[in-house]
Amino acid sequence: MDSTEPYQLHVFFFPLMAQGHLIPFVDMARRFSSHGVKVTIITTPLNACLFSNTIDRDKQLGLDISIQLIPFPSEEAGLPKGYENAGSFPNFSAVALKFFNGLSFLQQPFEELLQEHRPDCVVADMAFPWVTDVSAKLGIPSLIFHGTCFFSLCISDSFRRYTPHENIKSETDTFVVPGLPDQIELTRSQLSDDLKKKTDLSKMMERIRESERKSFGILVNSFYELEPAYADHYRTVVGRKAWHVGPVSLSNRNIADKSERGNRASINEHAWLRWLDSKKPNSVLYVSFGSMARLTATQLLEVAMGIEASGQSFIWVLRLNAEDSEQRRITEEFEKKMEGRGLIIRDWAPQILFLDHPAVGGFLTHCGWNSTLESISAGVPMITWPLFAEQFYNEKLITQVLKVGMSVGTMEYQRVGGEKALVKREVIIKVVEQLMGVGEEAEQMRSRARELKEMAERAFEEGGSSYADLTALIEELRLHPRPTV
């Protein structure tokens, strides 16, 4: 190598096997690679199939990026063969503990890869808290990725620090989350059980925090201008070193990468594009609950009836339970009735292409952070319907801080795959009409959403805050002592 050339860093990326984590991880890895870093993504065979075409295209463009496979420990974890991704299980709640416990079996193959390749840095999902120690043994710095925004990381920190929820008797009384830049209120009913009592998952969260403290820092898929008060709060009050590198979905520049992102879409591109092209700007509502959630038959019916009565054109991405004939019947009948006015997509949609289409004017979302940030990056206001994880926190950022969304008003934390709370059709009709209508509030939201889109693009481009943070991180890693051999 020419001695004037900067040293080429080698970074391992190790995502959790769940679409909400795998997708931003792959985007992030590709982003590092486009900055001249040699990148290796570590995952299991069935997860690799979900993005290997994209990586092959990057390689053809000359990027130094590759995938290293390790076996998924189905047998050791007591899980059926052929399921390697959290979103592929019909009822993830029922197997979540086995799945997370099973992740520890990945430690040995991961350690062997580290020994063999000695990368300069590891970016690991928070779900692998052992990575920090394993890497430190070899003198390799590790960065942790949570998948969510600064805002929600700050709320989680406040719960740990002040435990405000422990002094509240009622599940439905609101309380203020202490110590934050804004007055954010939640109810106990919106919190996960793992926060309210000691469970195996809450013990795992303890290990995650410990590994965070020992790590080199945190990577965040967000941009500074979106949540400046929370980015500052996280760095100064929570006290973690953090780099914001998002919105990482903007790493996908061409149609092939966008349409195959995370999976192969289950609808032909010409069919949906022709359909959306035939619609007026901002006239279509996009409805999706992410990669994990499955609504009950009763809830599906309420959504269907609500959308029908609202008179709104729509695209609805459905994730059904294969064995539930009632779900199939309801949605098939609805699909027939709505022909022309609505497009129903089963399993997987090219979400970022939909959100980017000028006809899409609103997104009914479960507030997963990726969907939220993708909607913001596309300038699309949201209807918020949080279900689980940190989605109730994200909802507050959307509706209260950024003011680019309206809530359906759900109050109850759900288990993944077992959604029970019922949002009635009347509520759906009202909020759809409000967001997609011509009122002043909706107009202001659309205008704020457009501003955020521009800010997101600027942050990601050369000269922007996310670009600068990534460049600074790469420089800092270059100065870090090389791993021990």
Ligand X SMILES: O=c1ccn([C@@H]2O[C@H](COP(=O)(O)OP(=O)(O)O[C@H]3O[C@H](CO)[C@@H](O)[C@H](O)[C@H]3O)[C@@H](O)[C@H]2O)c(=O)[nH]1
> Considering the rule CB under 6 A, would residue 15 count as an interface residue with ligand X?
no
CB of 21 to ligand X, least distance (A): 6
Q: Name the one range near ligand X by CB under 6 A: 173-181, 188-196, 300-308, 384-392.
A: 384-392
CB of 173 to ligand X, least distance (A): 24
Q: Distance of CA 423 to CAs 321, 415, 434, Å?
A: 19, 16, 16
Q: Name the one range near ligand X by CB under 6 A: 367-375, 429-437, 451-459, 472-480.
A: 367-375
Tell which one of 37, 307, 349, 398 touches ligand X (CB under 6 A): 349
SS3 405: strand
SS3 161: helix
Catalytic pick among 27, 125, 257, 469: 125
Enter the tokens of residue 292.
């994990």
Query: In whole angstroms, what is the distance from residue 143 CA to residue 124 CA?
Result: 6
- Comparing CB distances to ligand X, the nearer of 254 and 444 is 254
- Comparing CB distances to ligand X, the nearer of 103 and 317 is 317
CB contact set of 447 (below 8 Å; sequence gap of 6+): none
Q: Distance of CA 86 to CAs 16, 70, 78, 312, 379, Å?
A: 9, 17, 14, 32, 29
Q: Name the one range near ligand X by CB under 6 A: 7-15, 117-125, 366-374, 395-403.
A: 366-374
Question: How do strand 174-176 and strand 185-187 relate by DSSP bridges?
Answer: antiparallel
Q: Name the one range near ligand X by CB under 6 A: 76-84, 198-206, 376-384, 388-396.
A: 388-396
Query: In whole angstroms, what is the distance from residue 466 CA to residue 330 CA?
Result: 44
> Considering the rule CB under 6 A, would residue 23 count as an interface residue with ligand X?
yes
How many Cβ atoms sit within 10 Å of the Cβ of residue 425?
A: 18
Closest CA to 341 of 269, 285, 289: 285
Question: How do strand 360-365 and strand 342-346 relate by DSSP bridges?
Answer: unpaired
> Considering the rule CB under 6 A, would residue 20 count as an interface residue with ligand X?
yes
Q: Which of residues 168-197 bind ligand X (CB under 6 A)?
A: none
CB of 292 to ligand X, least distance (A): 4
> Considering the rule CB under 6 A, would residue 19 count as an interface residue with ligand X?
yes
What φ, ψ does residue 406 adopt, rounded to 5°?
-120, 140
> Considering the rule CB under 6 A, would residue 390 count as an interface residue with ligand X?
yes
Query: In whole angstroms, what is the distance from residue 240 CA to residue 237 CA?
Result: 8
Does the annotation count 125 as an active-site position?
yes
- Comparing CB distances to ligand X, the nearer of 347 and 454 is 347
Radius of gyration of the chain (CA): 22
Query: In whole angstroms, what is the distance from residue 452 CA to residue 246 CA?
Result: 13
Site string for ligand X, 277-316 (x = CB under 6 A): -----------x-xxx------------------------
Tell which one of 43, 54, 85, 351 touches ligand X (CB under 6 A): 351
Tell which one of 262, 342, 362, 379 touches ligand X (CB under 6 A): 262
Enter the tokens of residue 331.
């949605």
How many Cβ atoms sit within 10 Å of the Cβ of residue 321?
A: 16
Dihedral angle sign, alpha carbons of residues 303, 309, 310, 313 = positive
> Considering the rule CB under 6 A, would residue 31 count as an interface residue with ligand X?
no
CB of 347 to ligand X, least distance (A): 7
How many Cβ atoms sit within 10 Å of the Cβ of residue 2?
A: 4
- Side-chain-side CA neighbours of 468 within 13 Å: the count stands at 8
Tell which one of 48, 186, 195, 389 touches ligand X (CB under 6 A): 389
Burial zone of 69 (CB within 10 Å; 0-12 exposed, 13-18 middle, 19+ buried): middle
- Comparing CB distances to ligand X, the nearer of 291 and 465 is 291
Q: Which of residues 195-254 bind ligand X (CB under 6 A)?
A: none
Q: Name the one range near ligand X by CB under 6 A: 15-23, 192-200, 304-312, 321-329.
A: 15-23
Does the annotation count 21 as an active-site position?
yes
CB of 307 to ligand X, least distance (A): 17
> Considering the rule CB under 6 A, would residue 449 count as an interface residue with ligand X?
no
Chain residues in the site for ligand X (CB under 6 A): 19-21, 23, 147-148, 261-262, 288, 290-292, 317, 348-349, 351-352, 368-371, 374, 389-391
What positions carry a catalytic annotation?
21, 125
